[in-house]
Amino acid sequence: MFFSCDHRHADYVEGFYYSEKSNYHTKKKAYDKAQTALLLSKEKLSERYELDSNLAVLFDLLDKKDEAEKSFEAALKMIEQNYPSETAEKKAALFLVYYNRGVYYQGLQKIDEALQSYQSALDIDPTSIEIKTNIELMLQNQQGQGQGQQKSESDQKGDPQSEEKSNDKNDKNDKSDDKENDKSDDNQENEEKTSPETKPSPKYQPRPFKGDQLSEGDVKKILGELSQQDKKIRSQFDKKEREEVGIGIDGKNEKDW
């Protein structure tokens, strides 16, 4: 009897040692070493549900999802075997496993499973702030992803109203450009009409004289008429230019003819 108790004590000490060693490696993020140590601890302390729960967490970190699921189930079965009656210790054990399993499902984006595990934990401790915070964050994240996906689909399909507004805006811009071009053309035409450099010359170009066709008197008569026409044209041109530049009839015209 004494030997049996001593043997159990040795297993407990050794199991506890490997459990602490596993925690040490987990903090160092050496998950493979942590798993090895925890399995050794499990061999010595097979009835400890905490080890199964911790193994499930390690398997999750090592991306061993099937092993994680089995370890959570093993932990819950171990609790039912060790605590047949509803005691405070049993409730604390169940709360721990449900909480860890809720975090596990939340990481996998399995919302229904996570909520179910969290609700089982809240049934045991309705005052848990950690669980309520996790549920709120999980639901907010889910809503944010839904809105982002809906927006992405809308962007891919294209918003008809947005496209119509864009087309209307482009049409308005095109019309505005046309008006600007028409205005520019009108300004250019006005500049051509008012610019002195572009005005047509009023100077009369006489026909070439051919002596065999006209007499000397005819020539003098034609030259006299041309002189009168030239004066008349110059007078009209000077009057028009004074009106354009704002010079009165009595004003001086400095243009050199």
Q: What is the pLDDT of residue 219?
A: 54
Structure tokens at 220: 């003098």
Provide mean pLDDT across the span 55-66.
94
Q: What is the pLDDT of residue 231?
A: 74
Sketch the domain layout of the chain as residue ranges.
Answer: 12-141, 202-249
Q: What is the pLDDT of residue 142?
A: 82
pLDDT tens digits, residue range 171-195?
555 555 555 555 555 555 555 444 4
- Mean pLDDT estimate for the chain: 75
Q: What is the pLDDT of residue 108?
A: 94
The answer to whether residue 9 scores a pLDDT higher than 60 is yes
Specify the higher pLDDT residue, 8 or 136.
136
pLDDT tens digits, residue range 119-168?
999 999 999 999 999 999 998 888 877 666 555 554 555 555 555 555 55
Q: What is the pLDDT of residue 149?
A: 57
Distance of alpha carbon 41 from alpha carbon 224, whole angstroms: 135
Q: Which DSSP category does 198 fall into?
A: G
Distance of alpha carbon 138 from alpha carbon 136, whole angstroms: 5
Q: Which amino acid is at 91?
A: K
The answer to whether residue 209 scores a pLDDT higher than 50 is no
- Quickly name the fold that domain 12-141 has: 1.25.40
The answer to whether residue 48 scores a pLDDT higher than 50 is yes
Q: Which amino acid is at 58?
A: L
Q: How much helix, strand and coil, in percent to the nearest 5, is found in the chain?
A: 80, 0, 20
Q: What is the pLDDT of residue 3?
A: 43
Task: Give the model's confidence band at 90: pLDDT under 50 very low, under 70 low, under 90 confident, else very high.
Answer: very high
Kindly state the percentage of the chain with pLDDT values over 90: 44
